[in-house]
Amino acid sequence: MDSAPVSFRPQRARKVAIGAAIAVVVVFTAVSFGLTGSTGDSTTAVFQRGDQTAMIGLGIAFAAGILLFLRPRVEADAAGIRIRNVIGSYDLPWEVVRAIRFDGGVSFASAELHDDELITIVALQVVDKEYALGAVRSLRALLAAHQAAAAVPAEPAAAEQAPAEQA
């Protein structure tokens, strides 16, 4: 059961998140340069350099929130699976995993546990098509290898010692 570790991240969602974060910063920066002059017709208040800086800061803060969608990842090896979603993460040994599921009509793969809990794997999304299917197959192969190794009976030497002790 010397399987190589695997790691997967969403493909399309990464591109969209990076593009959206850049667009948000650009738009907020452009808006900040438009903040000049008075704030209205009947007021004497005017936009200051601090207002422009705050607008750029807001753009950066919103972009940072969008970049949280880069966080999902799933890693697995012979010992278990580590699932990191946008919020929350799980480190599970293969002993608690019953199956890796990617059912029709769902957006994400999931890990089904022996206690009937389903943990969504946001890193494996239906929009990534073949990449996601290959990742699910890899995870299923690691799970199957672990289950096969766990099903192997105990050492033959232990079985031979049992009859000798009875005599």
What structural domains and CATH numbers belong to the chain? 8-69 (no CATH), 72-151 (2.30.29)
Record the tokens describing residue 5, joined without a space. 């570790």
Count of beta carbons in the 10 Å neighbourhood of residue 160: 9
Give the mean model confidence (pLDDT) for residues 19-38. Answer: 91
Beta bridge partners of 97: 113
| pTM reported for the whole predicted model | 0.76
Give the mean model confidence (pLDDT) for residues 143-161. Answer: 73
Res. 4: pLDDT tops 90? no
How far is it, in rounded angstroms, from Cα 31 to Cα 126? Answer: 36
Helix 12-34, helix 49-66: angle, nearest 10: 170
